[in-house]
Homo-oligomer: A and B are copies of this chain.
């Protein structure tokens, strides 16, 4: 666990570097300096170098960073070099939107299981994945060693679903329901609170 003292802010920037590098790679750029990379994403070159320095020495002095090399290192650092088993709970509008979202596949992250309460939906497909009934939750998680659970269900059920997922062995939860949930500290939890983005726009607009 070398990230004991890696700033949280550094970790948030790594995906941004990663995606910029993916783009550069597709453009067949093979070397990039911290200055150029930083300019593309609005981050000072010295911060780019400092962030990367928490994980190793990936560049060459006087030259810069080889795009494919840095990309490979970042893929490993970000945990994208391995396969993750991901279950989506809730096949409503948001569930559909998430499963179709272009950003995940590009990263090699696939939602491999989908659950819903509605028996009528069971058996139909969401993308490549067949929807299963939520009663199968524990079985699906246990049999497939599911790592990550995504909750796209109504707020009232979020805590209950989260507890069941964790009980069955899920180690990380991404909660889109408009309700904060609480879990033991060893479980990774992101409460994705969509209203905050909109409030923050209203806040800034109202003082102009």
Please give the residue numbers on chain A whose beta carbons come within 8 Å of chain B beta carbons, in ascending order: 1-3, 11-12, 14-16, 18-19, 41, 77-80, 82, 84, 92-94, 96-98, 100-104, 106-107, 109, 147-148, 150, 154-155, 171-172, 174, 178, 180, 188, 190, 192-208
Task: Report how many copies the assembly holds.
Answer: 2
Nearest CB in chain B: distance from A90 CB, A: 10
Are B98's CB and A96's CB within 8 A? Answer: no
Contact A196-B155, Cβ < 8 Å, known A79-B205, A205-B147? no
In the docked arrangement, what's the CA distance between A138 and B98, Å? 29
Contact A174-B199, Cβ < 8 Å, known A3-B207, A97-B93? no
Which secondary structure characterizes the binding site on chain A?
helix
Nearest CB in chain B: distance from A111 CB, A: 10
Please name all residues of chain B whose beta carbon is closer than 8 Å to the beta carbon of A204 when the two chains form the complex: 79, 172, 188
Are B188's CB and A205's CB within 8 A? Answer: yes
A102, A104, A150: most-surrounded residue (chain B CB, <10 A): A102
In the docked arrangement, what's the CA distance between A154 and B93, Å? 16
Are B194's CB and A190's CB within 8 A? Answer: no
In the docked arrangement, what's the CA distance between A193 and B14, Å? 13
A16, A107, A198: most-surrounded residue (chain B CB, <10 A): A198
